[in-house]
Structure 1
Amino acid sequence: MEEQYKISDAQVLKVVAHPLRVRLLGLLRSDGAATASELGRKVGESSGSTSYHLRELFKYGFIEEDPDRRDGRERRWRARHRYTSWDAVELSGTEEGREAVKVVHLRQAEMVGRLMEAFDPGDWADDWVEVSGMSDHVLSLPPAAVRELKDRVEELVGELSTRYAADPAARQVTVWFGAMPRNREDAMPRNREEGRDDR
């Protein structure tokens, strides 16, 4: 499997931003090769629907047939890349590109919500429950600091993944990183004069 699929075409980004396609591609990346029927059962869709969307992902180079694992009459599909990337600045140069970037960001947020909803603390040991979840921080940072944070997180993720690859307690874990600037009108008031009540 190749490392990444770098998208430079807004139309291609919109193809993968379809809600069902992004789920199918994610499952092929995380769970391995599968048929349209197998994926349909996982996402609650008919095999006809998943087949159509898999063909679209194939058409644009996101997936391929798995030559090592044939399943009778039905094709088995596998992801071609570990992840998808794009240059948001480059794509945002057109209205179509800005729309595609926004849609794919919303799909990412939906995926986080879906995974959080599926997590049931009762299914996991206390040590997993303790470390699961999310935290958020509202900071005042320039773009250079956000870039540094992103780079350091990526570096740490790679280091930990390598260090613990053979640990018997290791499980597949979804790790998110996100940062978005807030519009001034969305910011909370900072003091009582601006409307905050400190009582």
Structure 2
Amino acid sequence: MDHEVFHVHDPRTLKAVAHPLRVLLLGELRTNGPATATELAGRLGESSGSTSYHLRQLVRYGFVEADPGQRDRRERRWRAIHRFTAWSDVEMAATAEGREAAAFLRRRQLEKLTADVENFERERDLWSEAWAEAAGMSDLVVRLSPATVTYLYERMSAMLLEAAERDRDDPDARPVAVLLAAHPRRDPAAGHG
């Protein structure tokens, strides 16, 4: 992928990816690399006509492109351009379209996390003891400022990318979903905002 993060500023662009099939297609390309519309259709249980249409929409809005390393001129392979999509919630909140798209993508992240946790729990006995011990969640509640939360997001993202690079060729490495979430809680004594 050419760029790490696609910073979306236009609500229409965010809305374009905030479609159930498009977000799945983009996720597949980011996770598993370049693929044809037909391959993606098979993985997702969709028609190739549907995946072709939605891939063209992702191309139109700058999320996906034709893979320059095509294996065969007869097949069109697509690839994600960026590893991540980011946006400003304040910027998106300026329009109903932006608020709706951002809310959809946040819900999608939660749905994906829930599915990953449920799949792991169902398959726990199939994983090694090392993976069974390493997998999990934490729910620490600490007092932080907005600036520190922003710093933590940036630092954690950098650390995760460094760790992924370190483990790139490790035969024990597997795709791991890491979700970092931070939401303030109301503090009746201190007010909020």
TM range (shorter): 0.7 to 0.9
Name the structure 2 match of 1:80: 81
| Cα distance in structure 1, aligned partners of 2:125 and 2:157 | 30
Question: Structure 1's 33 and 163: CA in aligned 2 closer, same or farther, altered over 3 A?
Answer: closer
Structure 1 residue 129 and structure 2 residue 122: aligned? no
Deviation track 1:146-165 (CA, whole Å, cap 9, x = no partner) reads 22332332232233233333
Name the structure 1 match of 2:191: none
Q: How does 1:143-162 map to 2 (within 5 A)?
A: 143-162=146-165
Question: Structure 1's 138 and 169: CA in aligned 2 closer, same or farther, altered over 3 A?
Answer: same
| Cα distance in structure 2, aligned partners of 1:59 and 1:158 | 28
Kindly, what percent of the aligned residue pairs are identical?
Answer: 50
| Cα distance in structure 1, aligned partners of 2:58 and 2:129 | 39
Does 66-75 or 80-89 show the bigger shift?
66-75
Name the structure 1 match of 2:12: 11
Structure 1 residue 164 and structure 2 residue 167: aligned? yes
Name the structure 2 match of 1:25: 26
Q: Which runs of 5+ in 1 are unaligned?
A: 186-199
Structure 1 residue 173 and structure 2 residue 176: aligned? yes
Q: Which runs of 5+ in 2 are unaligned?
A: 189-193
| Cα distance in structure 2, aligned partners of 1:184 and 1:43 | 44
Question: Structure 1's 20 and 184: CA in aligned 2 closer, same or farther, altered over 3 A?
Answer: farther
Deviation track 1:12-61 (CA, whole Å, cap 9, x = no partner) reads 10111111111110110111111111111211212122112111111111
Question: Structure 1's 154 and 67: CA in aligned 2 closer, same or farther, altered over 3 A?
Answer: closer
Alignment root-mean-square deviation, CA: 2.3
- Count of residues paired in the alignment: 185
Cα shift at 1:88:
1.9
SS in 1 for 2:154: helix
| Cα distance in structure 2, aligned partners of 1:61 and 1:30 | 18
Greater C-alpha Rg: 1
SS in 2 for 1:64: strand
SS in 1 for 2:21: helix
Question: Structure 1's 71 and 110: CA in aligned 2 closer, same or farther, altered over 3 A?
Answer: farther
Name the structure 2 match of 1:64: 65
Name the structure 2 match of 1:188: none
Structure 1 residue 142 and structure 2 residue 140: aligned? no
Query: What's the TM-score, normalizing by structure 2?
Result: 0.83
| Cα distance in structure 1, aligned partners of 2:161 and 2:46 | 34
Name the structure 2 match of 1:36: 37
Deviation track 1:88-111 (CA, whole Å, cap 9, x = no partner) reads 222222232222221221122122
Question: Structure 1's 72 and 156: CA in aligned 2 closer, same or farther, altered over 3 A?
Answer: closer
Cα shift at 1:64:
1.1
| Cα distance in structure 1, aligned partners of 2:116 and 2:57 | 24
Which letter maps to 2:20? P
Question: Structure 1's 148 and 68: CA in aligned 2 closer, same or farther, altered over 3 A?
Answer: closer
Whether the 8 Å CA contact 1:14–1:104 is kept in 2: the answer is: no
